[in-house]
């Protein structure tokens, strides 16, 4: 069985429209957003450092915010710096849309950019929580300086032991899905969970051969009819 954490598999699962509902819940919980995320669209926008393309696993656009989702398998000492770089490039794309005329310069509204980074390693070895959020803040009084960027890190190696998915948070369900896929009852357990059902079906679909996918799509078409 393929590992859902591998880049190509991860993208194929989470870039499906049918899984937007899960992504909305995940982003809302990860970034402690008080209101529901109503509209969420996938988008692809080329980011480059001048020499090569900067590739982020998943890019999502809401009315007032941009979200980046990155699945990192291997430990990378500069991973946090890379996430900051991704956010800076995302923000700079809005600035590049400024329209300059002879008499005036129209400023494009800067949309806050947030990155959800899922790590298959211990990023903060001296911290116990599996989820941590980071913003730019005043080190004296602790006030938030700007909402323009935010990072949320999820460390899979710190995943809690979950025996009952009905009592788990969305982040915990994501961690279960990404780490417990080799267990015998994994598919059955996920199919019985309203949040993970679509994810596990997408996961199974990714592993089908072309002929199996064709038969699957035909069966879905007949069911819809």
Domain segments of the chain as ranges: 7-99+108-224
**DSSP letter at 187?**
H
Predicted confidence band at 103 (pLDDT cuts at 50, 70, 90)? very low
pLDDT beyond 70 at 96: no
pLDDT tens by residue, 116-136: 999 999 999 999 999 999 999
Out of 17-31, 105-119, 132-146, 149-163, pick the least confident.
105-119
pLDDT of residue 95: 72
SS3 call for 120: coil
Long-range contacts of 159-168 (CB under 8 A, 24+ apart): 159/130, 160/130, 165/189, 165/192, 165/193, 165/196, 166/193
Q: How far apart are CA 156 and CA 126, in angstroms?
A: 15
Q: What is the mean pLDDT of residues 2-10?
A: 93
Question: How does pLDDT run across 49-59, given as a tens digit for each residue?
Answer: 666 677 899 99
Q: What is the mean pLDDT of residues 9-32?
A: 95
Q: Higher-confidence residue: 218 or 73?
A: 73
Mean pLDDT, rounded, for 37-60:
81
Residue 213 has a pLDDT of: 74
pLDDT of residue 108: 61
User: Is the pLDDT reported for residue 98 higher than 90?
Assistant: no
Over residues 94-102, mean pLDDT:
54
Judged against a pLDDT cut of 50, whether residue 102 lies above it is answered with: no
By CB atoms closer than 10 A (0-12, 13-18, 19+), residue 155 is buried
The residue-averaged pLDDT of 77-82 equals 94
Mean confidence (pLDDT) of the chain: 88
Q: What is the pLDDT of residue 181?
A: 94
Q: Is the pLDDT of residue 224 over 60?
A: no
216 pLDDT band (50/70/90 cuts)? low
CB atoms within 10 A of CB 108: 12
- Are 181 and 203 in contact by the 8 Å Cβ rule? The answer is yes
Residue 117: which H helix or E strand, with range?
A: strand 113-119
For the full predicted model, state whether its pTM sits above 0.85: yes
Q: What is the pLDDT of residues 197-208, one digit of tens each?
A: 999 999 998 888
């Amino acid at each position: 069985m393929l590992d859902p954490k591998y880049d190509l598999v991860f993208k194929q699962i989470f870039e499906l429209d049918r899984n937007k509902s899960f992504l909305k819940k995940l982003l809302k919980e990860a970034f402690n957003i008080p209101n529901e995320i109503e509209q969420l669209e996938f988008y692809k926008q080329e980011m480059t450092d001048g020499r090569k393309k900067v590739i982020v696993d998943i890019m999502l656009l809401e009315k007032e915010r941009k979200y980046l989702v990155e699945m990192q398998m291997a430990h990378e000492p500069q991973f946090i710096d890379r996430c900051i770089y991704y956010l800076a490039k995302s923000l700079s794309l809005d600035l590049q849309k400024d329209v300059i005329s002879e008499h005036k310069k129209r400023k494009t509204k800067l949309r806050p950019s947030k990155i959800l980074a899922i790590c298959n390693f211990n990023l903060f070895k001296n911290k116990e929580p599996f989820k941590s959020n980071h913003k730019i803040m005043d080190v004296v009084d602790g006030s938030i300086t700007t909402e323009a960027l935010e990072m949320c890190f999820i460390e899979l190696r710190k995943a809690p032991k979950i025996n009952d998915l009905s009592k788990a948070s969305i982040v915990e369900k994501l961690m279960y899905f990404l780490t417990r896929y080799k267990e015998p009852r994994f598919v059955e357990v996920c199919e019985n969970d309203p949040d993970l059902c679509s994810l596990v079906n997408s996961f199974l679909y990714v592993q089908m051969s072309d002929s199996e996918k064709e038969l699957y799509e035909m069966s879905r078409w007949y069911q819809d009819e």
